[in-house]
Amino acid sequence: MSDAVATPAFTAPTVSFSWRRAVPLLLVAPLVLYMLVFYAVPVISMLLRSVNEPTWTLANYTALADDPVFIKTFSITLNTAFIVTLATLLLGYPMALGLVRAKTMAPLILIVILLPFWTSVLVRSYAWMVLLGRHGLINEALLAAGFIDRPIRLLNTPLATQIAMTHILLPYMILPIANALRQIDPSLERAASGLGATPWRTFRQVTLPLSMPGVAAGVLLVFVLSLGFYITPAMVGGPRDITLSMLIAQSVDQLNWAYAATLAAVLLATALALIAAAQRLPGVGNAFKMNMR
């Protein structure tokens, strides 16, 4: 939020001072009330189910330490998030570099990045079902090339989840990195190569360090978002590879609200802690702003 529209210097004579001060409050109040009633209070009262049964207690949380289902689910969730973050970084950085350095092609590249970005997660997960299925494009291509004799199992494996999530989250990595790269003064890179640095050395010692705030924002964003994935692992993942979100949904189906609320609180706390930790890194906040706009 910017302060550009701050306090007009001129005060209209017909409007009293206190009334003018109340106007911003009255403008914001309807939305804040709406969000409290239909979002914050419902979520918080659900989360309270984790600590108030039958009396106030943290027993649900301490029990998680010896809960093999939770431990397995949480480690699958974290593991998936690590792999997806690494994969999006490896693919996203060169893509961001290509986007920033492209001149005439840049609008076209941006469209190819943004169209999947705004296509629903459901449609993109379905697309990967089509690609990875027994008679999907990848199996047919591998058969035709003679690499395999009969279709291999790709769909409903952890690999399928990782590939589809990498595809879905890649734009979240590309956009903050591209934003950071765009802010680098081009004369710095010219100076480095003018002083005799090879392109690789210019990249390693000038471009890469200056783009780190974007990398940090992208890594944070992808990691936090992948912690909460539900649709994609449920559709393309293995039947036994349950993520935290899937376990939460299952517990709700079984009306085990105390357990569901405990898991939801753990998921939320993990996401918020990561974001709070990253806020301390310089420049991350700025890279975030661009992404949300």
Partner 1 sequence: MSAQRLFSAVVVGLILLFLALPIVVVGVVSFSSATYLTFPPPAFGLNWYAAYFGSADWLRPTWLSIWVAACVVVLSTVLGTLASLGIARLPRPLRVMATGLILSPLIVPVIVVAIGIYYSFSRYGLIGTPIAMVLAHTCLAVPFVVTSVSASLAGIDPRLEQAALGLGATPGSTFWQVTLPLIRPGVLVGALFAFITSFDELVVSLFLSGSGAITLPRRMWDDLRFQIEPTIAAVSTLTIVLTAALLFSAHLLRKRIDQTRTATSS
Contact 74, 247 (CB under 8 A): no
What minimum distance in Å lies between the beta carbon of 252 and partner 1?
A: 5
Q: Could you say which of 2, 18, 55, 104 contacts partner 1 (CB under 8 A)?
A: 2
* DSSP symbols for 136-197: SHHHHHHHHHTS-SS----TTSHHHHHHHHHHHHHHHHHHHHHHHHHTS-HHHHHHHHHTT-
Residues in the chain: 293
Indicate whether 148 belongs to the interface with partner 1 (CB under 8 A): no
In order of 118, 164, 177, 222, 248, the CA distances from 169 in angstroms are: 11, 9, 13, 6, 22
Indicate whether 203 belongs to the interface with partner 1 (CB under 8 A): no
Indicate whether 82 belongs to the interface with partner 1 (CB under 8 A): no
What minimum distance in Å lies between the beta carbon of 168 and partner 1?
A: 10
Under DSSP, the state recorded for 53 is: S
Q: Of residues 86-115, which lie at the interface with partner 1 (CB under 8 A)?
A: 91, 94-95, 97-99, 102, 109, 112-115
Q: Which of 172, 207, 160, 171 shows the shortest CA–CA distance to 187?
A: 207
Site string for partner 1, 230-249 (x = CB under 8 A): xx---x---------x--xx
Indicate whether 40 belongs to the interface with partner 1 (CB under 8 A): yes
- Tell the residue number behind the tokens 């935290």, with chain if given: 244
Indicate whether 45 belongs to the interface with partner 1 (CB under 8 A): yes
What minimum distance in Å lies between the beta carbon of 145 and partner 1?
A: 14
The region of 2-10, 52-60, 209-217, 279-287 touching partner 1 under the rule CB under 8 A is 2-10
What minimum distance in Å lies between the beta carbon of 12 and partner 1?
A: 5
Indicate whether 119 belongs to the interface with partner 1 (CB under 8 A): yes
Question: Judged by CB under 8 A, how many residues of this single chain contact partner 1?
Answer: 91
Encoded amino acid at 58, one letter = L
Q: Could you say which of 16, 44, 204, 273 contacts partner 1 (CB under 8 A)?
A: 44
Q: Which of 82, 63, 47, 83 shows the shortest CA–CA distance to 248?
A: 47
Distance, in Å, from the CA atom of 252 to the CA atom of 247, rounded to the nearest integer, reads: 9
What minimum distance in Å lies between the beta carbon of 195 and partner 1?
A: 17
Q: Which is nearer to partner 1, 59 or 114 (CB)?
A: 114
Q: Which is nearer to partner 1, 66 or 193 (CB)?
A: 193
The region of 61-69, 78-86, 208-216, 259-267 touching partner 1 under the rule CB under 8 A is 259-267
Rg (CA), the chain: 24
Distance, in Å, from the CA atom of 56 to the CA atom of 74, rounded to the nearest integer, reads: 25
